[in-house]
A and B are shown apart, each in its own frame.
Chain A
Amino acid sequence: VSVPARAAALIAAFLIVVGAGVFVALYYIGSATTQLTTVHYSATGGVVNVVLQEDPQNNTATKPDWVSYYTQDPTSKQWVHTTLFSVPAGMKVNMTIYGYDGCTPLRNNYWSHVQGTLGGTVTVSQFDQHGKEYVTNQTTSLINSWSDCNVGHTFAIPAMGLFVPVASPNAQLSANNLCSSSPCTTSGNPYSLETFSFMSPAHAGAFRWQCLIPCGGGYLDGNGGPMQTLGWMTGFMYVVAS
């Protein structure tokens, strides 16, 4: 075999290997993030209203049994299966989270403590499947996940020092009547309604948020799956110039 032929074969093999690597990177890594929608929230009177819900399951075809957050489109009021949203910088963010999932204890009960919200508190209401409110506007700085069936998930932005336990329906309701079709609605399902406020950072940036409950069922100690995947139990809050 001539030297040019051998060189050509070597170059071709090299290009095939590099091409395969680029394909894998673009196909798997690239597709994981580009499919997610970002919901954009704007301010009215210096206030931004962000609405999320967390469900025991989701409406995707690929991972229907994963627990998941949803984000509400502020215009259409439709629930979008994404954990990416944007808010303007330097604004008061009023957060509303509907908790449809049942309880799971925190691995570190320190996160039962509300941190980083305005006033250091959250306000919680809880409803049964008939819409009856059995806890009304309870303002608290602590939702003890170890004392009862209290906490479903958390909403945490570590870079901002924001750590918020999200209440769950009580034990009996979690046992018998949890929402089974996502996105969940307040009609016919027990749920918690939790509100709190915080100030968005003064400068633009991407702030990752996550759940601190080991809620990845089917994975080692609940650590994998939705815990590790954008669009389910972790995401980004994009702060944009206002």
Chain B
Amino acid sequence: VQGVWNTVLNVNLGIQSSETSAIPDEVYDKYGMGIGLGSYLLYNEIAKGTKALSAENVMVITPGLFVGTGVPTGSKTVILFKSPLTGGFGRAVVGGHLGVALRKSGLDAILVKGRSEKPVIIKIDDNLVEFIDAAPFMGKGAVDVQSQLRKVYGKNYRTCAIGPAGENLNCIAGIDFEQRQAARGGGGAVLGSKNVKAILVKGTQKVPICNPNKLKGLIKKWKKELKEHPATQADLDYGSGEWWEWHNLERGTCPARNFQWGYFQSVYDNIEGGEKSKLDPYYWAPKYGGRHTACPNCTKPCGRIVNVKEGKYAGTKLDGIEYETLYSLGSVLEIDDIEATAKMNEICDQEGLDTISAGVTIAWAMEAYEKGLLPEDQLDGIKLNFGNADAAIEVLKLISGRKGYLGKLLADGVKKAAEKIGMGSDKFAIHSKGLEFPGYDVRGLKGTALAFAVSVRGACHLSAAVHNWDLAGKYWEFKGIDRFDSEWRGFQVKSGEDLTTVYDIYGVCKFSRYVYFLEGFKDIQNSITGCEKKDSDIMLMGERVYNLQKMFNVREGLDRKDDTLPYRMTHEKIPKGASQGAILEETELRHLLDQYYMARGWSKNGIPTRAKLASLDLSGVVEEDYGANI
């Protein structure tokens, strides 16, 4: 296999040493790069029952195959670890520049192992590793510290870092990669627990390409396809929240007020004559949007600098604001103030918090407060009502620092917070497996509901990425999807999961999922690696890698009982709007799970059968005992 280095770097923090190890061709052929190689390494490196915040946890950082080769939107790097939020397979996928530097450093992955006694920065020059005292940089913002480090050590270093939230082992902390976030699942806490503040990588080599001329032609072709695709212009102008109004009004599945509403009722019921929600990019992008920011080799940059120049949040400046954040730091808190959302987004980026988890956790706290479940005398005077942006901003800072009653209560996400206070508050804690929900009310999107319930990393819209299939009624080879119907969803979700795994093997941005399909991947991977693969080989590789991730969870004891949805989804109807009356009752969820396990070839208890593992050539990889009989 060409296009890879057959080498990974093991960084041993305990003794501050490093060594490379060789990875044979068979591994790349079977699993690919990115999430494939990473899942293989994580499964083999972590023992059953390892505590997520212990020295024994391992973080794997591995770019996709197309990263560093010039392939358009091929810029994604995968971060894997055992998640402190879910106790299962932790996965975050991120754009940015570090992955490119890593690809050019002669390494296919970094494995961060052990725990440093004192805070350190890991500096990697090709495969030479240096440990730098991080003491002067502790407590600094995740974005700021990377700018400082690149000033000190040179712009050729590409970086990632945690903020104070990660240092404080906050389970909803992520890792910032030069203003792109590997946010989900608590990776920031894992790095924090290892006493690593930042990682710097400089790569000076050229990624080995099997057939450079063929690749050059393909890059030209796909750049043109991406540039001219009709989905590109809207993304460029208005970012990932371009469809805000349509999602609210025509689908009624844009969560608001901690999922009490399926659209932003208090805004849309009260505006007239073409007025817009202040969260709608058609309102704010022309007013605040500055220059576009792109990941390497992106020909459709969705990032944009947002600059608030006046008012009480003047001085707020960030790269954003993504759809998910419009929801999690906007509608789900019942806040229709883009300047406040921008401020909260900026705080999350600097403190190193996942905007989705932070927002959904605060939304739960707002509901608990309004229901009188929080002790008023311990709230430092904060009136945590829905819609109170200043209170939400205050609470974000408390969460990051684990300060006060609210900071300590909310720092580890909504599941743990609800467990701490009890009183039935778990009924409105919106998560699956401990990971807070992305911005889709799945009661009106049945395929997405199944995807959220079964995703190996907890509630995740990008494990299967079927939300757009449900919303528009079609995608890829699937047509005529009725979003309220729960039949034939097992195969839909399985197919989506296998396909998105392929995206993460190659490191391609899922925002190009209307453009690239298997035929694009097939030719490009062939020109890089020299290996012939058919569409079916590629999809089988996706399926194999997804099953390996699943087996990580099976080994940890997760099964059907963990593939579930919040009480609100299964017991309360969406009250109003385009999804009025929608609910996903427990009998329907059981039916969806049965369909999915059958489509996957898993047992009724949600465990891959030995027959399925054998058909995926995983029998010798996963321990025999964990497979199921039918």
Q: Do A and B come from one complex?
A: no
Interface residues of B (CB under 8 A from A): none
